[in-house]
Amino acid sequence: MNKAPLFFLLLVSTPLTFAQTATPTEVEAVYPAAHELYLDIHQHPELSSHETRTATMLADKLRGLGYEVTEHVGGTGIVAILKNGSGPTVMLRTELDALPVEEKTGLPYASKVRATDDAGHEVPVSHACGHDLHMAAMYGTAVIMAQSKNSWHGTLMLIGQPAEETVAGARAMLADGLFTRFPKPDYAIAVHVTNELPAGIIGIVPGVLTTAADSLRVTIYGKGGHGAAPNTTIDPIVIAARTIVTLQTIVSREVKPGEMAVVTVGYIRAGTKNNIIPNEAEMGLTVRTYNPQIRKQVLTAIERIVKAEAAAGAVPRGPLIEHYESTDTVYNDPALAERLRPVLETALGKQNVEKTGPISFSEDFSYFVDAGVPSLFMRLGGADPAKLAEANRTNVPLPSNHSSYFAPDVEPSLRGAIEAEVSVLQNLLNGKQSSSMQR
């Protein structure tokens, strides 16, 4: 279903109380190019840290608009700066990477790409998280901002961040001087598409938006041998199985009811053959929390249980616990959220801006916030409203991000993202902001 005419109507029927906002005509004018870019990126997805074509293409396009573009920042990252007199520096971030997921949406422009991952396996690749939409929106926003320099002043900083899905890219860009070689922004913004909200709607979450995520790899060392002579072995599979079951008691028995905590064992790897007891077993865990104290409590409990279960199994050597990835919660500055909410309501219509609760996903955008930049990370509705209503009625959720079937309703989502980004940027980069706030 095409909801563009309705969206257009909502925009024009809304009284424009702020001067600085993208007009429907501006969005209309840029939409075909943004959509074309979307289709291109969607059909050429690249895995985390390998976004070379994507980065080059986006860099060339932004350079063509007059932005000063630096490539290879923290790997394949790009930084595009547009200076427009004195004033604040505001950063808009998009991710560049896709996922090792086979697209099964059946769309005419579905990805057929396959690539070799870092472990040497051939994998299907697709933009199952919607980062292609974020890039297309950034491009549309970049065009409007370059064409409307008389309505804002300061420094606009657009960044294309690699490797969000491996939570490595934000850290790599910062380590490569993102906030020292380039101006440190006064504010940062980003959007992420979700099937939990109707297409084109902006969801605002003041305060904690996403969970902290911790990735752990646990190796339990046993003593291998013949499957028919278990008495001569120390079976790491049995110890791993017991460990997994005990780990389930952390959330159910140790964490205070009502506090958010997730402990998931996403894989277990051990053994080669049914009649051989292997030497070791490996498990991969993901831990999600909102509260730093709970995070510490859960991580400490995991370590205690893993060690204790191994000791109970009389292992020849203590288990190895590797904490190989982590990211903090994304914290939306409440004052900034409060300031930008009426701006978004004016631009998109009050009914298209929703205050929503935090989500159980994670994001390495947290590194920019932790570097001391007040930020607003907006949720962008991507679901066909009719399908979402049906999903809510039947309690069968729509395919989430990372699903093979994830397919945002492109037109309203992309228009909504551009409209939201431009209105927020123009407000933050407008000297009249204080008078607007005093209304």
Which residue stretch of 57-65, 124-132, 323-331, 419-427 sits at the interface with Zn ion (rule: CB under 5 A)? Answer: 124-132
The smaller minimum CB distance to Zn ion, of residues 26 and 46, is found at 46
Name the 3-class secondary structure at 217. strand
Which residue stretch of 125-133, 153-161, 407-415, 423-431 sits at the interface with Zn ion (rule: CB under 5 A)? Answer: 125-133
Name the 3-class secondary structure at 386. helix
Name the token pair of 150. Answer: 């008389």
The smaller minimum CB distance to Zn ion, of residues 61 and 93, is found at 93
Site for Zn ion contains 380 (CB under 5 A): no
Compute the least distance from the CB of residue 241 to Zn ion, in Å: 30
Compute the least distance from the CB of residue 169 to Zn ion, in Å: 11
Compute the least distance from the CB of residue 336 to Zn ion, in Å: 21
Q: How many positions of this chain bind Zn ion (CB under 5 A)? A: 1
Compute the least distance from the CB of residue 208 to Zn ion, in Å: 18
Compute the least distance from the CB of residue 164 to Zn ion, in Å: 6
The smaller minimum CB distance to Zn ion, of residues 167 and 220, is found at 167
Locate the DSSP E strands across 162-313: 187-198, 202-204, 207-208, 212-221, 225-226, 261-270, 276-277, 280-289
22/29 Cα distance (integer angstroms): 11
Site for Zn ion contains 98 (CB under 5 A): no
What b/e sequence results for 333-369 when a residue is b if at least 16 CB atoms lie within 10 Å of its CB, and e otherwise? Answer: beebbebbbbbbbbbbbeebbeebebbebbbbbbbbb
Nearest to 49 by CA among 167, 131, 157: 167
Q: In sequence order, which residues have a C-beta less than 8 Å from that of residue 196 and are 6 or more positions away?
A: 359, 379, 381, 383, 388
Residues 4 and 27: beta-carbon distance below 8 Å: no
Compute the least distance from the CB of residue 360 to Zn ion, in Å: 13
Site for Zn ion contains 47 (CB under 5 A): no
The smaller minimum CB distance to Zn ion, of residues 129 and 239, is found at 129
Compute the least distance from the CB of residue 129 to Zn ion, in Å: 3
Answer positive or negative: Cα dihedral of 176, 182, 188, 193. negative
The smaller minimum CB distance to Zn ion, of residues 232 and 267, is found at 267
Rule CB under 5 A: choose which of 47, 78, 129, 178 binds Zn ion: 129
Give the largest Cα separation in the chain, rounded.
81
Which residue stretch of 123-131, 267-275, 321-329, 381-389 sits at the interface with Zn ion (rule: CB under 5 A)? Answer: 123-131
236/181 Cα distance (integer angstroms): 50
* Interface contacts to Zn ion, rule CB under 5 A: 129
